A and B are shown apart, each in its own frame.
Chain A
Amino acid sequence: MTLAGAALVALFVLVFAALVFGALIVAGRTVRRTREARRARLAKPARRLLLAVAAGDDDPEQIEELVRLPDDVWLAVESNAIALLGKVRGEAHTALVDVFERRGAAWRARSQLKRRDPVARALAAEVLGNLGRKDALLPLCDLLGDPDADVRVVAARSLGRIGDAGATQPLLATLPSRRPVPAHVVATALTRLGTAAQGALLAALDDPRAPVRACAAEVLGLIGAVGATVRVESALRADPVVEVRVAAARTLGRLGTRTALAPLVDALEPQHPAVLRAEAAKALGELGAVSAAPALTGLLADAEYAVAHNAARSLLRLGNAGRAALVAAEHRAHVRPRHSADPDEEPDPEVLLGAAHAREALAAAELDDKRKQTVP
């Protein structure tokens, strides 16, 4: 075969392959559109029924009608029903749970937890979580070690929804594991467990793994565990890992107890890492203790931007005393240094730096005040 002949054959093969590929794409799209149209046709009457039940009308006939829907019709609205299940509460949620339970959704979901398809596993975990099935605690805890990261996240969220404090340890244990769940997902799930998780969270502050201690410290603040203040104060003072101390500082600000003032002021000292000092400065603002004003004022000229910035913003949160300190710091930039013979001598650079942070905070407060005035 000549070179020209070979090229012609290759060109023919390429054109043929392109045509086949194009035909496959068109066929695929047509099948998908047909399926979607069929699904929409089936879903239309059922969707209104679903909305009526999700609206919390408490009409037994409508619930019964939804329970008796043929499987293909139910499948067409099931994804909407699952979505609504997680977004409503009260009688609407109870009615939807009733429908799911009577359609055997919990049993079906449990059987799907070990499917090869990660989407099926995630969907099953979500259904069990939304149904609040406490008997699904163990299988969902197992899913926290799933090879698929999305499945692990759905399992963690579902455990939060179920609200059984027995999930506390397994959720915390995922943080330092080979297959971790993001810390914010774990923290949100633990927060949903509420005060029932407090004991396990307090114990977790002694865990040898730093991510576990940091998350436990964070969540104790989010659930408002005022009884944990002393233990969190110890973590702020003595934990060897800065991330844990930062979380402890944040939590003490959230808890807002008076005893937190001293350890937070101590954490402002320059020998501590800047990230901890900045968080302590912020937490003192949350705490709202006017007696913290001198310590915060002293930080306005701090070499670390975040520390000085947070100190200025926290002073604002202390009310009149804090604002007065900021105004005074700003004013010092316009005062000629005492005993200076030179009338043009600039104030100390530290004074200028402190004044700049004070000015920025006061300007932000002024903007905020103006914006509030526009709100009727």
Chain B
Amino acid sequence: MTAILVADDDMDIRDLVAFKLEQAGYEVVAVDNGLAALTAATENPPDLVVLDVMMPGMSGIDVCRQLRQEQGTKALPIILLTARAQEGDVEVGFGAGADDYIVKPFSPRELVSRVEAVLARMRT
């Protein structure tokens, strides 16, 4: 089963994303901060990571950059989920190595489509 790591400090969003992805047939591991996401992704690399940008301690951007530096996770597909929608923010997100960037408020159905698209791109 395809494993997805979800990191968001907002419990409602974390539960919703996990619920929707599980419903779509993925195995989901959910954590509530950046450091836990980094640890989980490096210890047991999932097939894809969904990262909130604004998290206490270590932001999603920092996690993304760190994952791109590590040998075992540098090719890991990463989707950033964030309320920051300015052009500059999107630029920073992609600059950090994200494969996709989803802005809140988001459509849960669209999130699943994006996950599927990123995974399909990685497989080809």
Contact = CB atoms under 8 A, between A and B. Distances in A.
Contacts of A88: 16, 105-108
Interface stretch (A50-58, A143-151, A170-178): A50-58
A321 to B, nearest CB: 21
Interface in B4-49: 10, 12-13, 15-16, 19-20, 23
Nearest to A368: B95
Given A87-B12, A376-B74, A376-B97, A55 B23 contact: yes
Interface string B78-111: 0000000000000000011100000011111110
Given A374-B74, A376-B74, A55 B108 contact: yes
Nearest to B99: A376
A80 interface: yes
B68 interface: yes
B117 interface: no
Contacts of A92: 107-109
Nearest to B74: A376
B72 to A, nearest CB: 13
A87 B69 contact: no
B12 A91 contact: no
Chain B residues touching A, range: 20 to 34
A93 interface: yes
Given A87-B12, A87-B13, A375-B97, A56 B108 contact: yes
A83 B13 CA distance: 9
Given A372-B95, A376-B74, A84 B12 contact: yes
B97 A91 contact: no
A341 to B, nearest CB: 50
17 contacts: A51-B16, A52-B19, A54-B16, A55-B16, A55-B23, A55-B108, A56-B108, A56-B109, A80-B12, A83-B12, A86-B105, A87-B104, A89-B107, A90-B110, A91-B107, A368-B95, A374-B97
- Nearest 6 CB-CB pairings of A with B: A90-B107, A375-B97, A89-B105, A51-B19, A55-B20, A83-B12
Interface of B: 10, 12-13, 15-16, 19-20, 23, 65, 68-69, 74-75, 95-97, 104-110
Interface of A: 47-48, 51-52, 54-57, 80, 83-84, 86-93, 368, 371-372, 374-376
